[in-house]
């Protein structure tokens, strides 16, 4: 499960993304390397989700270049993304996972065992036959995590994985993220929950109005933020 | 009314003439529904998932074709299959095959248009997830059709219902030949005009029962979908 050379580091060089007249990301340069999770934090509308989609390879930059292990335009074979509001397929819990495993090219014979392993990893053993859309919000988030892990990713992007979950469900998801990190998978998580960033991240990237305001190791970011934006965000004063 | 009693007697006694008509009607309409599904569902999926110049025009046309008048379809197929028509050499005018072709043309747009709407709604939900899973175009179409299968069955039953209930197309291309191309609807029209009301009412009762069963199946299918697939 170690990240192969072909995926990391992810380099964004002078990258911008525009949508019509709006600049969503503005000349960002950033390197995402292997190691502890990277947290993308910032107020709503700061560009976190767009940055994740860009790093995943789902959208093209309007300017600049994105590369994975030094190579541009590589298919997202070992990159996975969990959306903020993951959509469950109209299938059972195990059916959702088997679908993701098939899409990842896992052989039919191996799918059953792998499916059980992933369900156990996210704490959903015993719920395999339940329709995925009838799971609770927290269970659906964990199933989405398992589905993202089905392709054996080297990098896992998580977009606000615990937004709108209660504390118990949040802890359950964070435990899975911890287990995923322990497997050597690079986690990049977008969140506006500072507590979550403190608990999970090794590195913090603060985005503000489409630009990188500060990048720092998590401990330093929270104990001694360098920029005015970072100080205001940690103090809860940077709202837009 | 004595006609009603006689009609019920015909239905309950298993009158061979009545049930031959019912069998042929079901054969023609089911065959047409299956053929129209094989054409309409993939076509609807293709339009749902692709973007091209003139797409809106295709959708508007397809939706308009849902109201295609059966007699116009019957006339068009008649002209195609008549001895002097481009497909006259097939020699299938006034046969059940001609009736299947006419009904297929009649209901394929219904199935395609309703499938397009169903699959496009699901596609808007699934698009990001399938892109993140790197699922290819054919895989996307197969996934959408499979996951929307319960809604699509309802669409197929709507098509079948339309085929089973129409009279204009089959009477033109089938000719309403006794024992060969006479269906429930054409027989009802003929027997009513002849004044043989018991047979017409008996066939009407069977037709209504079939429509009821079709709707019950559609309802049950949706229920199954909710229960097993969520």
* pLDDT tens digits, one per residue of B187-215: 999 999 999 898 889 889 998 998 888 88
Q: Quote the pLDDT of residue B222.
A: 76
Q: Which residues of B touch A (CB under 8 A)?
A: 125-126, 128-129, 131-135, 139, 143, 147-148, 225, 227-230
Percent of chain A with pLDDT over 70: 97
Chain position carrying tokens 């060089």? A13
Q: Chain A, 61-80: which have a CB under 8 Å from a chain B CB? A: 75-77, 80
Peptide bond before residue A9 is cis, with ω within 30 degrees of 0: yes
Nearest by CB: A90 against B133, B135, B229: B229
Residue of A nearest to B127 (CA): A87
Residue of B nearest to A153 (CA): B133
Average pLDDT over residues B27-32: 96
Does A178 score more than 50 pLDDT? yes
Question: B192, B110, B202: which is closest to B156 by C-alpha?
Answer: B110
Q: Which has more pLDDT, A238 or A9?
A: A9
Is the CB of A90 less than 8 angstroms away from the CB of B133?
no
Confidence of residue B11 (pLDDT cuts 50, 70, 90): confident
Q: Quote the pLDDT of residue A240.
A: 67
Q: Mutation test of the interface with chain A: which of B129, B130, B153, choosing the one with the most A Cβ atoms within 10 A?
A: B129
Q: Quote the pLDDT of residue A58.
A: 94
List, in sequence order, every residue forming a beta bridge with A215; answer none if it has no partner.
A205
Nearest by CB: B129 against A76, A86, A133: A86
Residue B6 to residue B205: CA distance in whole angstroms: 12
Confidence of residue A94 (pLDDT cuts 50, 70, 90): very high
Q: Which has more pLDDT, A68 or A76?
A: A68
List, in sequence order, every residue forming a beta bridge with B192; answer none if it has no partner.
none
Q: Quote the pLDDT of residue B109.
A: 97
Residue B144 to residue B135: CA distance in whole angstroms: 12
Alpha carbon B160 to its chain's center:
3
Is the CB of A90 less than 8 angstroms away from the CB of B128?
no
Is the CB of A90 less than 8 angstroms away from the CB of B148?
yes
Burial of B32 (0-12, 13-18, 19+ CB in 10 A): buried
The whole-model pTM stands at 0.83
Range from A65-69, A235-239, B94-98 carrying the lowest mean pLDDT: A235-239
Percent of chain B with pLDDT over 70: 97
Residue A128 to residue A220: CA distance in whole angstroms: 42
* pLDDT tens digits, one per residue of B44-53: 999 999 999 9
3-class secondary structure, A113: helix
Chain position carrying tokens 């079901």? B26
Which residues of B fall within a CB distance of 8 Å from A81?
132
Contacts of A101 (CB under 8 A, 6+ apart): A110, A111, A114, A115, A150
Is the CB of B126 less than 8 angstroms away from the CB of A58?
no
Is the CB of B125 less than 8 angstroms away from the CB of A75?
no
The mean of the pLDDT values for chain A is 93
* Å between A2 CA and nearest CA of chain B: 20
Residue of A nearest to B149 (CA): A90
A92 in contact with chain B, both atoms CB, cutoff 8 A? yes
Confidence of residue A118 (pLDDT cuts 50, 70, 90): very high
Percent of chain A with pLDDT over 90: 89
Q: Provide ipTM, 2 decimals.
A: 0.84
* Å between A177 CA and nearest CA of chain B: 19
Asked whether A22 and A206 are in contact (CB, 8 A), the reply is: no
The mean of the pLDDT values for chain B is 92
Is the CB of A87 less than 8 angstroms away from the CB of B139?
no
- Encoded tokens for B131: 């892109």
Is the CB of B132 less than 8 angstroms away from the CB of A56?
yes
Range from A113-117, B17-21, B141-145 carrying the lowest mean pLDDT: B17-21
Is the CB of B228 less than 8 angstroms away from the CB of A100?
no
Is the CB of B129 less than 8 angstroms away from the CB of A92?
no
Is the CB of B229 less than 8 angstroms away from the CB of A92?
yes
A90 in contact with chain B, both atoms CB, cutoff 8 A? yes
What long-range pairs does A171-174 form, CB within 8 A, spacing at least 24?
A: A172/A123, A172/A138, A172/A142, A173/A138, A173/A141, A173/A142, A173/A145, A174/A199, A174/A200
Q: Quote the pLDDT of residue B10.
A: 74
* pLDDT tens digits, one per residue of A37-75: 999 999 989 999 999 999 999 999 999 999 999 999 998
Average pLDDT over residues A131-143: 94
Residue A228, CA distances (Å) to A79, A224, A231, B136 in order: 34, 11, 5, 46
Beta-sheet pairing, A10-19 with A22-32: antiparallel
Asked whether B178 and B115 are in contact (CB, 8 A), the reply is: no
* pLDDT tens digits, one per residue of B116-170: 999 999 999 999 999 999 999 999 999 999 999 988 988 999 899 999 999 999 9
Is the CB of A77 less than 8 angstroms away from the CB of B134?
yes
Does A2 score more than 60 pLDDT? no
A128 in contact with chain B, both atoms CB, cutoff 8 A? no
3-class secondary structure, B155: helix
Residue of B nearest to A152 (CA): B133
Residue B162 to residue B143: CA distance in whole angstroms: 28
Asked whether A146 and A122 are in contact (CB, 8 A), the reply is: yes
Spatial strand order of the sheet with A10-19 comes to A22-32, A10-19, A63-68
Question: A193, A191, A197, A190: which is closest to A236 by C-alpha?
Answer: A193
């Amino acid at each position: 499960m170690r990240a192969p050379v072909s995926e990391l580091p992810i380099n964004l060089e002078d990258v911008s993304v525009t949508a019509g007249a709006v600049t969503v990301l503005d000349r960002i340069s950033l390197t995402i390397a292997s190691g502890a999770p990277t947290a993308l934090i910032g107020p709503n509308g700061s560009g976190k989700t767009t940055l994740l989609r860009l790093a995943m390879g789902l959208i093209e930059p309007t300017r600049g270049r994105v590369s994975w292990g030094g190579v541009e335009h590589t298919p997202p074979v070992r990159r996975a993304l969990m959306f903020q509001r993951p959509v469950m397929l109209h299938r059972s819990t195990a059916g959702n996972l088997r679908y993701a495993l098939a899409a990842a090219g896992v052989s039919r014979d191996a799918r059953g065992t792998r499916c059980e392993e992933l369900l156990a990893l996210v704490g959903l053993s015993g719920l395999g036959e339940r329709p995925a859309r009838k799971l609770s919000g927290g269970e659906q988030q964990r199933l989405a995590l398992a589905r993202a892990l089905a392709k054996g990713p080297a990098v896992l992007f998580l977009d606000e994985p615990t937004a709108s979950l209660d504390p118990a469900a949040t802890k359950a998801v964070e435990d899975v993220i911890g287990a995923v990190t322990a497997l050597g998978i690079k986690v990049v998580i977008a969140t506006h929950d500072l507590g979550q960033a403190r608990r999970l991240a090794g590195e913090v990237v603060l985005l503000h109005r489409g630009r990188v305001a500060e990048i720092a190791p998590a401990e330093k970011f929270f104990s001694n933020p360098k920029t005015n934006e970072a100080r205001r965000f940690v103090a809860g004063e940077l709202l837009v | 009314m004595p006609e009603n009693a006689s009609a019920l007697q015909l239905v309950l006694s298993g009158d061979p003439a009545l049930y031959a008509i019912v069998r042929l009607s079901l054969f023609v309409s089911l065959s047409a529904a299956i053929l129209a599904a094989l054409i309409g569902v993939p076509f609807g999926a293709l339009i749902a998932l692709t973007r091209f110049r003139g797409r809106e025009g295709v959708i508007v046309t397809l939706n308009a074709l849902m109201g295609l008048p059966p007699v116009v379809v019957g006339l068009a197929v008649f002209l195609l299959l008549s001895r002097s028509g481009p497909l006259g050499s097939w020699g299938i005018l006034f046969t059940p095959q001609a009736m299947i072709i006419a009904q297929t043309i009649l209901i394929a747009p219904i199935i395609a248009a309703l499938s397009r709407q169903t699959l496009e709604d699901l596609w808007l939900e699934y698009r990001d997830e399938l892109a993140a899973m790197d699922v290819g175009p054919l895989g996307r179409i197969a996934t959408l059709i499979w996951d929307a299968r319960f809604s699509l069955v309802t669409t197929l039953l709507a098509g079948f219902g339309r085929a089973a209930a129409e009279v204009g197309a089959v009477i033109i291309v089938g000719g309403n030949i006794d024992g060969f191309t006479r269906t429930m609807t054409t027989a009802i029209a003929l027997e009513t005009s002849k004044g043989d009301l018991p047979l017409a009412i008996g066939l009407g009762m069977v037709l209504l029962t079939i429509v009821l069963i079709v709707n019950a199946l559609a309802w049950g299918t949706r229920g199954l979908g909710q229960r097993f697939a969520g």
